[in-house]
């Protein structure tokens, strides 16, 4: 009488093949996880820096940004912890963007808002320089995802209305 089942040799061969497959799959999985974390950190840093510049240029919500400012109504003040740009837009409303190095953020405050609105976080460096015809803006964002971190610097020139 013959019993059905697997022999010890068949089980050992199967276990050996399974071990080889797993030995190749686990490092590949770990490499993919690391790649995802690095890409995620790079993407977040890029998006945050880009969003900061876009909001300063085009405005926050229904408020006008620096692009709508007249050159004679833009004032840049620098201080030890960053800078502040105040301006009046085409509707005559007063607006303000401020960068704080210690808080690592850019805030907006306008006549239509109730208090300051944070428009960008994790900004480790930002510069603003007024050239008369416009303003140069630069923002560097540092973002960490687990043990990976990425920084991205973006800059733009915003021309004022004449």
DSSP 8-state secondary structure symbol assigned to residue 63: S
Residue-range domain boundaries for the chain:
36-159
103 touches 82 (CB < 8 A): no
What values do phi and psi take at 85, rounded to 5?
-115, 120
Beta-bridged to residue 70, according to DSSP, are 161
Please say whether the beta carbons of 21 and 13 come within 8 A: no
Contact call for residues 36 and 145 (beta carbons, < 8 A): no
Residues 12-26: what's their mean pLDDT? 94
Nearest CA to 158 out of 48, 71, 61 is that of: 71
Residue 23: band (very low, low, confident or very high) from pLDDT cuts 50, 70, 90: very high
Look at residue 87 and give its three-state secondary structure: strand
* pLDDT tens, position by position, 86-141: 999 888 889 999 999 999 999 999 877 778 999 999 999 999 999 878 999 999 99
Adjacent-strand bridge partners of 55? none
Q: What is the spatial distance between Cα 84 and Cα 155, in angstroms, rounded to a whole number?
A: 17
Predicted structure pTM score: 0.79
Give the C-alpha separation, 8 to 13, whole Å: 9
């Amino acid at each position: 009488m013959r019993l059905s089942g697997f022999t010890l040799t068949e089980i050992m061969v199967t276990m050996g093949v399974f071990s080889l497959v797993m030995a190749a799959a686990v490092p590949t999985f770990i490499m993919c996880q690391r790649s995802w974390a690095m890409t995620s950190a790079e993407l977040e840093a890029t998006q945050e820096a880009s969003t900061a510049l876009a909001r300063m240029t085009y405005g926050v919500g229904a408020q006008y940004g620096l692009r709508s400012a007249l050159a004679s109504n833009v004032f840049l003040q620098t201080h030890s912890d960053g800078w502040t740009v105040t301006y009046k837009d085409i509707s005559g409303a007063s607006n303000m963007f401020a960068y704080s190095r210690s808080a690592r953020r850019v805030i907006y405050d306008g006549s239509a808002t109730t208090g300051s609105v944070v428009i960008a976080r994790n900004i480790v460096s930002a510069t603003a320089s007024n050239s008369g015809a416009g303003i140069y803006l630069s923002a560097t964002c540092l973002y960490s995802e687990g043990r990976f971190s990425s920084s991205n610097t973006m800059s733009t020139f915003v021309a004022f209305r004449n």
